[in-house]
Structure 1
Amino acid sequence: MSVRRVNPVRPQPRFGANYTPSVGWFHHWLDFELDEVRRDFESLAALGLDHVRVFPLWPLFQPNRTMIRGRAVEQLGQLVDAADEHGLDVTVDALQGHLSSFDFVPAWLTTWHRRNMFTDPDVVEAEARYVETLAASLAERPNFIGMTLGNEVNQFSDRPHPDPDPCTYDQAGRWLERLLAACERGAPGKLHVHSEYDAVWFQPGHPFTPAHASQLGGATTVHAWVFNGTAQRHGRAGPATVHHAEYLMELSRAWADVPGRPVWLQEVGAPAPLVPAEHAAEFVTATVENALTCEDLYGVTWWCSHDVSRRLADFPELEYSLGLLTSERELKPQGKAVAEMVARVRAGTAPGPVRRRTALVLDAGDAMTAPGRATCAPGGEFYEAWAGLAGDGVRAAVVLAERAADTEYLAGRGIEEVVGVGGQ
């Protein structure tokens, strides 16, 4: 695992939104209207946000294995420039991939041309060329943060995907390293990362592992969704629910192999009906306040910027109401709550990072493959023990069992007490 860079963490965490265009959703690339994009960015800048995460649709940008559309790349550059006009920096996801229950995979990977996106040599070469092209096209723009390889691309590698591209732990690691290296060639020194949904932390045998997430790339990204069994078990305001993002960030730190590695809360949202609309604002405040207690927090990027229009069919119901603003760019209570949190952070009146002197010991088996990681999932023994500590007011760190007796390591993290699950 040689591709990693620890970027300096800003004095204050960044705040942004995952950009879902108010007009046309991500299909806006088909009828790209720069003025609509500008109006969206204006509505986000008004909240005090400093960045957006944007999503080119892979089949539209690379419709053939040997063809990357220059016009599409040019439009991406125009979008990044429009963000700069409104004081917004931009991070770009490449392999889209999977968005809000829909898969966007090029035709040259499916049906009659079915090939494995993680292991086929020709496919991986084409993917590397694509991510490098996007990175290089933006490298000189001052508001370009860097690349994310794709949105939760690990969902293609394993169940419950209906048509997975299976790979092994070693193959997943090589794929990540190669594509991250391609991003670095295209835009040296930028913040290049990868992202996974929570199977990476919870699902035994899943080829993408906590070690991959916490050791490769310039930061660890966390996608914290409470519809994964958390809110169902603990309710909208239970400690496990409002501390879920904090939990995943602390869980990731147990696998980090360099001190001070940034952790980016890259996706978090208030999904109805588990978090009813009338309680979304308080969920925002509690979740972000708890996240801010984590050390080395790079930033918080809320999902998402604007609601999906009801004119578009077949989305899961919750996807229509996740925006900080409506699809008419009207401010919603959760948008107001995010803006208030941003103002508090900038004014120095929000919670800050705390030194976690107590650590809960996690035994998930081999540190690289984590065969026992089901214990970390909602309902798992470790998960429920950590949530119980949170409910008691304990800001607990997480330490792997193999490091629990390493006094130098513990001291470096400021840990003074280690406790086992069940208080042992």
Structure 2
Amino acid sequence: MPSAVRFGVNYTPSEGWFHHWLDFDLDSVRADLDSIAALGLDHIRVFPLWPYFQPNRTLIRERAVSDLVRLTDAAAERGLDVNVDGLQGHLSSFDFLPAWTRTWHRRNLFTDPDVLDGQAAYLRTLAAALADRPNFLGMTLGNEVNQFSADPHPDPDRATEAEIDRWLTRMLAACEEGAPGRLHLHAEYDATWYQDDQPFTPAQAARHGALTAVHSWVFNGTAQRHGRTSVPAEHHAAYLVELSKAWADDANRPVWLQEVGAPAPLVPPEHAAAFTEATVANALDCPDLWGITWWCSHDVSRELADFPQLEYGLGLLTNDRKPKDMAHVLSRAASDPPPAPVPRTTALAVPADPAVRSACAPGGPVYDAYFRLVADGARPTTVLDTRATDHDHLTARGITEVVTPDQVLPTPQGGTRS
């Protein structure tokens, strides 16, 4: 019986990485998609590079858009649905922003009226080009665009929470105008959940768009603090899924684990399969999980320079399209998923104030208490401290017990599996 949870991969082309849009080769793309479909996965997330598609504010290249449609059609031939990220944005340590937003034309990505007009037109155009394709899932506004809005970015585009709220509303509306009724969303890296001064907030992540997306990377201090086989490392993805639910207004809002991977050397290649198996199993124990989309499909070619070393080996498949052990792990999970999980009845109270969200970050009291509960055999979720006595809210989510971080007794350090 097919799983209600979707299993997919973030598509990194084996030839040319995302620069393949400059020399689009449909035969190479088809071979990549064949190797993905052979794993039994059902969707891909694809990444047009914004400056290649919209090199001028009033020029959206028809040839580039046509190539995106051809990729989507090739995916359909292989039974793969497609989610499209629009504003790239940031990928694998590189920023890809059009010249009309930088240096001599420096304008804020989130507040400048002309930039907003250009972004909205671009997102609307991509969505409209795919609106009649049955395998088009919808648009993600961009990949981790929150990294442009605050430190530690070297040249941030500062904005307030209210300005980001308006930006999200307008850009999601543009996607909806282009392709009504599809699954349009936005996605940020975990600073949204962990960094006190991020203008992209947990409430926005959990309330704007068709579902909530989380990106889980244990190089954020989790693996460094606790080790690759620790409870925090193997449950970090599940933690973000459950943490996001505290801010959702819909008791059953779906959550998409849109990025998760096994980064070396914190997760050495020989241990990647075991890490993948544990991460996937724990995420699948989260109710209302929409899907798991692994980062990434194919390794980055060693012929390409200047990537962080971990980026070269994150693929489920090698650069010559051979599946790794962790690919087989994900394939087995997709073909034989577990039954839908029962509700999580114990909730850990988290601060509703985004100015203290670092309490949820690695080393924070919420983070530590959550994993102490997991180590003790609990299956916790989270609830805002402002909703901790809201009977209707708790009942709707199946929560029967609320605990605070200071009520969770310490357990021995490490929490490593025996």
| TM-score after normalising by structure 2 | 0.96
Q: Is 2:204 aligned against 1:216?
A: no
Distance in 1, Cα, partners of 2:336 & 2:33: 22
Aligned to 1:362: 350
Which one is further off, 25-34 or 253-262? 253-262
Q: Is 2:1 aligned against 1:13?
A: no
Equivalent runs, 1:11-410 vs 2, <5 Å = 12-345=4-337, 350=338, 352-365=340-353, 370-410=354-394
Distance in 2, Cα, partners of 1:363 & 1:265: 23
Offset at 1:234?
Answer: 0.9
Aligned to 2:414: none
Whether contact under 8 Å (1:292, 1:351) holds in the other structure is no
Q: Which runs of 4+ in 1 moved over 4 A?
A: none
Query: What's the CA shift string for 1:243-266, capped at 9, x where partnerless?
Result: 001100101000001121110000
Whether contact under 8 Å (2:350, 2:383) holds in the other structure is yes
Offset at 1:422?
Answer: 2.3
Whether contact under 8 Å (2:141, 2:185) holds in the other structure is yes
Offset at 1:57?
Answer: 0.5
Aligned to 2:413: none
Identity %: 64
Offset at 1:351?
Answer: 5.5
SS of corresponding position for 1:372: helix
Offset at 1:354?
Answer: 2.5
Whether contact under 8 Å (2:3, 2:334) holds in the other structure is no
Q: Return the letter of the residue paired with 1:375.
A: A
Whether contact under 8 Å (1:293, 1:351) holds in the other structure is no
SS of corresponding position for 2:239: helix
SS of corresponding position for 2:349: strand
Distance in 2, Cα, partners of 1:351 & 1:312: 42
Q: Return the letter of the residue paired with 2:364.
A: G
Whether contact under 8 Å (1:26, 1:57) holds in the other structure is yes
Offset at 1:364?
Answer: 4.3
Query: What's the CA shift string for 1:18-63, capped at 9, x where partnerless?
Result: 0000000000001100000000000000000000000000001000
SS of corresponding position for 1:205: coil
SS of corresponding position for 2:87: coil
Whether contact under 8 Å (2:317, 2:324) holds in the other structure is yes
Distance in 1, Cα, partners of 2:39 & 2:371: 32
Distance in 1, Cα, partners of 2:203 & 2:341: 24
SS of corresponding position for 1:119: coil
Aligned to 2:411: none
Distance in 1, Cα, partners of 2:296 & 2:261: 7
Distance in 2, Cα, partners of 1:128 & 1:11: 35
Which one is further off, 171-180 or 404-413? 404-413
Offset at 1:11?
Answer: 5.9
Which one is further off, 414-423 or 18-27? 414-423
Q: Return the letter of the residue paired with 1:235.
A: G
Offset at 1:340?
Answer: 1.3
Distance in 2, Cα, partners of 1:304 & 1:297: 19
Whether contact under 8 Å (1:250, 1:398) holds in the other structure is yes
Size of the aligned set, in residue pairs, is 407
Whether contact under 8 Å (2:124, 2:178) holds in the other structure is yes
SS of corresponding position for 1:300: strand
Distance in 2, Cα, partners of 1:162 & 1:358: 41
RMSD of equivalent CA atoms = 1.0
Distance in 1, Cα, partners of 2:227 & 2:39: 29
Offset at 1:408?
Answer: 1.5
| TM-score after normalising by structure 1 | 0.95
Offset at 1:409?
Answer: 1.1
Distance in 2, Cα, partners of 1:256 & 1:282: 32
Offset at 1:410?
Answer: 0.8
Q: Return the letter of the residue paired with 1:155.
A: Q
Query: What's the CA shift string for 1:104-152, capped at 9, x where partnerless?
Result: 0000011100000100001001100000000000000010000000000
Distance in 2, Cα, partners of 1:170 & 1:111: 26
Q: Return the letter of the residue paired with 2:317.
A: L
Q: Return the letter of the residue paired with 1:408.
A: D
Offset at 1:411?
Answer: 1.1
Q: Return the letter of the residue paired with 2:341.
A: P
SS of corresponding position for 1:60: helix
Whether contact under 8 Å (2:252, 2:397) holds in the other structure is no
Query: What's the CA shift string for 1:195-220, capped at 9, x where partnerless?
Result: 10011000002100000100000000
Q: Please, which runs of 5 or more residues in structure 2 have no aligned partner? A: 409-418
Q: Please, which runs of 5 or more residues in structure 1 have no aligned partner? A: 1-9
